Amino acid sequence: MLALEDVSLKQTRFYQEAMAEGWENGRENGEQSLLQRMLMRRFGELPTPLQQLLSQANATQIEQWADRFIDATTLEAIFGDFKNKN
């Protein structure tokens, strides 16, 4: 009986939307974590304003910064004037 109810729950729109949102949040968190790790490896400890900016970023912003990371030699080349963005 529980298995039948479980299948029914998984077919609901609410469940599917909640799962999709969870996957999206997990993906964003993973991308943020990876970018932060790469930045720290190249540039050392990140300034607090930059850490805050990263923690509030959406997936599109993270992807743009990750693309810039490839050729950047400074944090400013990736983020611009991040100290004044908050």
Q: What is the pLDDT of residues 13-52, one digit of tens each?
A: 888 888 877 787 777 888 999 999 999 999 999 999 999 9
∠ CA 8-25-18, rounded to 5°: 20
Q: Give the pLDDT of residue 26.
A: 76
Q: CB of 30 within 8 A of CB of 57?
A: no
Q: Which residue ranges make up each domain of the chain?
A: 2-84
Q: Is the pLDDT of residue 7 over 70?
A: no
